[in-house]
């Protein structure tokens, strides 16, 4: 699955995601037949935010491509916390809904954390509920892993590199990417360092990494001279700029040093989409006692 990208082999998320989607399609068809039920996800959206509406459309398309049902609960801009919580409780209790996603941004009167606490952890396909984060940290299944780091790990594993004992540096400590990525690599016996905006001498820390994962949201933050020769670099960054979609790595200079590099676009993004579908199927199986 490697294609040369200047010097570093390209770790193509598009190619791996395509393969995984085909396998998932078959698994979902089998599930429907066995259980007479279709894996179903519902998103809750509040207000008219265009980014959130666009994200909902892309989730719907992604679901349709493999035979997952998609539903949207859309509340007005002026919805109260109580109204959103009532909607969430309805979905929590609906046995035909297997996964629930709360799309952000939410209007300022809505408290996202209170909603997340209320979300049924067995339907938390984004892996944002503290119970899932804690179960991931403690390695006590069942739990949902957020789709983006789960996809990053699959890409890493696709290199065939032995992860045991490797020095991993994760730049970024968000609950949705950086922290769960650190947990996943720790569980694979990497020695993990988590860096963030207060880290001192970030370039020197990045240069220690055999595996460098970057989830910051600052285009071209990481340059070639920050990278250890031969390192695997997973670029989670996705920032829309006037020049198109950009990752957190300066791809041209990093590619001359890295052993492997995920491109942007076509790297971690497509893997996030497919891992979300995989989480929805997992939630449907969980609901059916599998």
Q: By CB under 6 A, name the binding residues for ligand NAP.
A: 148, 171-174, 176-178, 195-199, 202, 215-218, 236-239, 268-269, 272
Nearest CB to ligand NAP, comparing residues 75 and 261: 261
Contact 122, 287 (CB under 8 A): yes
Smallest gap from residue 77 Cβ to ligand NAP (A): 24
Smallest gap from residue 35 Cβ to ligand NAP (A): 29
Nearest CB to ligand NAP, comparing residues 92 and 199: 199
Smallest gap from residue 1 Cβ to ligand NAP (A): 18
Nearest CB to ligand NAP, comparing residues 45 and 179: 179
- Is 145 exposed, middle or buried, given 0-12, 13-18 or 19+ CB atoms closer than 10 A? buried
Smallest gap from residue 153 Cβ to ligand NAP (A): 13
- Is 118 exposed, middle or buried, given 0-12, 13-18 or 19+ CB atoms closer than 10 A? middle
Smallest gap from residue 109 Cβ to ligand NAP (A): 22
Contact 99, 132 (CB under 8 A): no
Nearest CB to ligand NAP, comparing residues 166 and 246: 246
Backbone φ and ψ of 4, nearest 5°: -70, 130
Nearest CB to ligand NAP, comparing residues 31 and 247: 247
According to DSSP, the residues that pair with 42 across neighbouring strands are 71, 100
Question: What is the spatial distance between Cα 213 and Cα 219, in angstroms, rounded to a whole number?
Answer: 14
CA atoms within 13 A on the CB side of 71: 15
């Amino acid at each position: 699955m490697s294609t040369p990208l200047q010097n570093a082999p390209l770790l193509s998320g598009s190619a791996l995601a395509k393969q995984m989607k085909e396998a998932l399609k078959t698994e979902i068809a089998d599930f429907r037949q066995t259980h007479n039920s279709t894996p179903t996800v519902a998103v809750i959206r509040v207000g008219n935010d265009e980014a959130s509406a666009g994200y909902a459309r892309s989730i719907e398309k992604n679901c349709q491509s493999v035979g997952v049902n998609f539903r949207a609960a859309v509340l007005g801009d002026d919805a109260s916390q109580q109204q959103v919580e009532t909607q969430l409780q309805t979905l929590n209790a609906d046995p035909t809904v297997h996964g629930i996603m709360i799309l952000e941004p939410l209007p300022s009167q809505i408290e996202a954390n209170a909603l997340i606490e209320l979300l049924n952890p067995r339907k938390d396909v984004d892996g944002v509920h503290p119970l899932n984060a804690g179960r991931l940290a403690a390695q006590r299944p069942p739990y949902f892993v957020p789709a983006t780091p789960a996809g990053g790990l699959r890409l890493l594993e696709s290199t065939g590199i032995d992860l045991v004992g490797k020095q991993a540096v994760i730049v970024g400590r968000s609950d949705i990417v950086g922290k769960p990525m650190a947990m996943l690599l720790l569980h694979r016996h990497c020695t993990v360092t988590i860096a963030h905006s207060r880290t001192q001498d970030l370039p020197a820390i990045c240069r220690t990494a055999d595996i460098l994962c970057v989830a910051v949201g600052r285009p071209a933050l990481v340059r070639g001279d920050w990278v250890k020769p031969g390192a695997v670099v997973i670029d989670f960054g996705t920032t829309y700029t006037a020049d198109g979609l950009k990752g957190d790595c300066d791809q041209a200079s990093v590619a001359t040093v890295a052993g492997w590099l995920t491109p942007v676009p076509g790297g971690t993004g497509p893997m996030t989409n497919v891992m979300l579908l995989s989480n929805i199927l997992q939630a449907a199986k969980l609901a059916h006692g599998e």
